[in-house]
Amino acid sequence: AGTLPARLPRPRPLAWPRIGVYHSDDERRFRMKVSRPMRWLRGKPIWPG
């Protein structure tokens, strides 16, 4: 069993990794960049920042 904290911390604007999306990106590349698995992977410390 677990509980939630009484108050959740406010999200920090720079706490999430970012990725560039450019005009030259086709639909396949865009979908790859914004896919949930890729966002998860980019959030890991092993991903070069």
Element (H or E) spanning 10, and its range? none
Instruction: Return d(Cα 11, Cα 42) in angstroms, integer.
Output: 18
Amino acid (1-letter code) at residue 3: T
According to the model, what pLDDT value does residue 17 have?
Answer: 66
Spatial distance between the Cα atoms of 48 and 39, rounded to a whole number of angstroms:
13
Tens of pLDDT, residues 1-49: 688 888 888 878 777 667 888 999 999 999 999 899 998 888 787 756 5
pTM for this predicted structure: 0.52
Q: What is the pLDDT of residue 29?
A: 95
Please give the pLDDT value at position 49: 57
Query: What pLDDT shows up at residue 48?
Result: 63
What pLDDT shows up at residue 36? 92
Work out whether the CA dihedral 17, 44, 32, 49 comes out positive or negative.
Answer: positive
